[in-house]
Copies of this chain bind each other. A is one copy, B any other.
Amino acid sequence: MIDHHVHGVVRSVLPRPAFELLINEGGWVAPPGTSHFDSSLGAAIRRWCAPVLGLDPLCPPDTYLGRRAELGDEANRLLLRAAAGAGLVGAYVDTGHRSGEVCTPEELGALAGVPAWEVVRVESVFEEAAAAAAAEGRVAELPDRWAALLRRRALTAVGLKSVVAYRHGFDLDPTPPAPGEVVVAVERWLQDAVAGAPGDRPPRLRVADPVLLRHILWEAAAVGREQRLPLQLHAGFGDADLDLHRVDPVVFTPWLRAWRSLDLPVVFLHCWPYHRQAAYLAAIWPSVYFDLGASLNYVGARAPAVLAEALEVAPWSKLLYSSDAFGLAELVHLGAVAFVRGLDAVLSRWVESGELTAVDADRVRSLAGAGNARRLYAGAPGLRASGAGPAGTPGPAAPVP
Which A residues have a C-beta under 8 Å from some C-beta of B? 24-26, 28-31, 33-36, 38-40, 43-44, 47, 57-58, 237, 239-240, 243-245, 248, 250-251, 253-254, 256-257, 272-273, 276-277, 280-281, 283-286, 295, 298-302, 305-306, 308-309, 311-318, 350, 353-357, 360, 363, 367, 375
Q: A24-B284, A302-B308 are in contact. List 11 more A-B contacts (CB 8 A).
A: A24-B283, A38-B315, A38-B363, A57-B354, A244-B250, A273-B280, A295-B313, A301-B353, A301-B355, A301-B356, A302-B312
Q: Which 4 pairs of residues, A with B, have the shortest CB-CB distance?
A: A34-B317, A38-B316, A244-B250, A301-B355
In the complex, 20 of the A-B residue pairs with CB atoms within 8 angstroms, ordered by the A residue number, are A26-B284, A30-B317, A33-B317, A34-B317, A38-B315, A38-B317, A47-B356, A58-B356, A240-B284, A240-B285, A243-B250, A243-B254, A244-B250, A244-B253, A245-B248, A273-B277, A299-B313, A301-B355, A302-B309, A302-B311
Q: What is the minimal beta-carbon distance from A316 to any residue of chain B, in angstroms?
A: 4
A280 with B353, Cβ < 8 A, contacts A315-B39, A317-B33 known: no
Q: In the assembled complex, which residues on chain B have CB atoms less than 8 Å from the CB atom of A237?
A: 280, 313
Question: A273 vs B243: C-alpha distance in the bound complex, in angstroms?
Answer: 18
Q: Are A306 and B317 interface neighbours, CB within 8 A?
A: no
**Copies of this chain held together in the complex:** 3
* Most chain B beta-carbon neighbours within 10 Å: one of A28, A40, A285, A350: A40
Residues of B within 8 A of A276 (CB): 272-273
Given known A302-B308, A311-B302, contact A47–B355 (CB-CB < 8 A): yes
Q: Distance (Å) between the CB of A60 and the closest chain B CB?
A: 10
What chain B residues lie within 8 Å of A316 (beta carbons)?
Answer: 38-39
How close is A179's CB to chain B, nearest CB, in angstroms? 29
Q: B residues within 8 A CB of A243?
A: 250-251, 253-254
Which of B57, B245, B284 is A251 in contact with, Cβ under 8 Å? B245
- Name the B residues within 8 Å of A311 (CB-CB): 40, 302
Cα(A370)–Cα(B285), bound, Å: 35
Which secondary structure dominates where chain A touches chain B?
Answer: loop
- Chain B residues lying within 8 Å of A298, measured Cβ to Cβ, are 283, 312-313
User: Which residue on B lies nearest to A276, using beta carbons?
Assistant: B273
Q: In whole angstroms, how far apart are the Cα atoms of A58 and B243 in the complex?
A: 43
Q: Which of the residues B28, B239, B313, B354 comes within 8 Å of A39, measured between beta carbons?
A: B313
A239–B286 CB distance below 8 A: no
Whether A360 contacts B308 in the complex (CB less than 8 A), given A245-B248, A285-B26, A285-B240, comes out as no
The answer to whether A34 touches B300 (Cβ under 8 A) is: no
- Nearest B residue (CB) for A252: B243
Within the complex, the shortest CB–CB distance from A243 to chain B, in Å, comes to 5
Residues of chain B within 8 A (CB-CB) of A306 are 312
Cβ of B284 and Cβ of A25 under 8 Å apart?
Answer: yes
A157 to B244, CA, bound (A): 33
Known contacts A244-B277, A313-B298, A284 near B239 by CB under 8 Å: yes
Q: How far is the CA of A367 from the CA of B33 in the complex (A)?
A: 12
- How far does the alpha carbon of A39 sit from the alpha carbon of B310 in the complex, in Å? 12
CB-based nearest B residue for A372: B34
Q: What separation, in Å, do the CA atoms of A360 and B58 have in the docked complex?
A: 9
CB proximity of A345 to chain B, nearest CB, Å: 10
